[in-house]
Amino acid sequence: MPLLFSIPSLGDPFGQSEEAVNAAIWALGGRNILEKGPVAARLGASVAPYPGTKDGIYAHHPPLPVWLAAAAQLAGGWEGWPRLLALVLAGVSLFLLFRLLRRFAPEEMALLATAVIATSPFLLSYGRLLTTPTIATPLVLILLDGALARSMGGERWGGAYLAAIPLAFLSSWDGVLGAGAVVIYVTLLEIRDAYRHGAGPAGWFRALVPALVSFASLAALLAYFSWANNDLREMVTHARMRTGADDAVPLLQWMARVLTFVGSGLGWLTTLVLVGATTSLALHRAPCGLLAAILLGAVPGVAMTAIFRNGAYSHAFWSYNLIIPAGLAVAYALTVVTRLRRGALLLVGVLMAVQAVVGFRVAGEQLGQERLLNSVGALARDYFRRYPVETVKMVSAYDFHPYVSWYLRVPTEVVWSVRDLHERLASARWAASEPVLVDTDFARDLGCRPFQAAAISDNRRWAIAPGAAVDAACSANLIHGG
């Protein structure tokens, strides 16, 4: 379903949408790996010529997304390759979710629950987003299935479980949190059994292997960040910003925003089922392992949004991993409903169909907005390839424009105020005749008058004009202290 939904826009240009800026920043690191070699590219942390956060480096996330972006470029520079790879991961996630649901529900109910997740805006909108949570999801599902096989069937962990641990740690902070929770759960089970059975040194070693692999993976990850950033201070600064350690979003405001993201992403009916089923299972006798599966599956989405509060406030897809506990909750609810009257099952079917229709509509509207937002990428690509510059100058409230550097192989320089623009021109750092890429909505908010544009994006949000023309249009605001 996510693939069919995304086919019309697979080749859309990278631009200002959340999906596209993620794809572009990872693609820059991936391209540098392929062109300069992994060491010179710092395993993809080097995103030059884009400035990054410091000296062309962008290394606040584990590196697996960059490596996958590099792999996607082996087929060429088409924008659709990373999206197709992300959709493959979405398909794998749905298959693994279905397998997990089969542990607790009949095949038909597991398939229906998987369909509910597949038609949710999270999958339809973000299934083609090659980034941290979408990469972590299949890995967390592998780990969770291994944990349930251990707790419910007494099976020992195998090679797939062990291999998924470092991959999850390298995928994202979601993966670190999710894998950490599952490994702690399995390790406690292993230690309990080793103690009960009087295990020897080999038995105790086996019990602790997943935890040791986790510690080694975390150490390797921290070493990567220290090397890529030259030290860990940049990481600490970024973590404080994302967590809101110095200036946190008010709690109730954050809760309302995140709840809206989750309800819109999963579907409000699915969200209610998730909350209701979890509460019911906690208060009553639950099927073996189901409550643990829901709680462990919820760790990446819940912990990520709770710990990195300020970041979650601005990123709707950070709770994407909640598709795991939501699928489990829906499968459980459907199994319970089948025991009721036929009318109840019919009503649930109607509600599911309605939610799917709403999900397609919500995702369709978001896709339409993304296509408009991404039109700036096509504007910058086409204009500056015809009229090359050494640096693309921009007037914008937002300084994250990696797609410009991806297309043009030049850095960007952004000003956030009329005064900064005027000072750049007055000091001759920016030539008066040099073209400037302007966010016209932002310019309007700054009090700038309309100006004659040399080129304009499809949604008329972005325009290119000589710096002197933009400065003249905004000079009245400067006189009044803007």
pLDDT of 2-25, one tens digit each?
A: 888 888 889 999 999 989 999 999
pLDDT at 83 over 80: yes
What are the structural domain ranges in the chain? 78-370, 376-479
What's the pLDDT at 343? 67
- Percent of the chain residues past pLDDT 90, beyond the cut: 68
- Cβ-in-10-Å burial (0-12, 13-18, 19+) of 482 comes to middle
CB 144 within 8 A of CB 164: no
CA distance 479 to 202: 77
What's the pLDDT at 286? 74
Question: Helix, strand, or coil here: 152?
Answer: helix
CA distance 290 to 235: 37
The DSSP bridge pattern shows strands 412-415 and 392-395 to be: parallel
How many CB atoms neighbour CB 204 within 10 A? 14
Range 165-181 average pLDDT: 96
Give pLDDT tens digits for 472-482: 998 765 544 44
| Band of residue 191 on the pLDDT scale cut at 50, 70, 90 | very high
pLDDT at 349 over 90: no
pTM here? Answer: 0.92
| Band of residue 107 on the pLDDT scale cut at 50, 70, 90 | very high
Please, which residues have CB within 8 angstroms of residue 272's CB and are 6 or more apart in sequence? none
CA distance 410 to 384: 10
Range 426-438 average pLDDT: 94
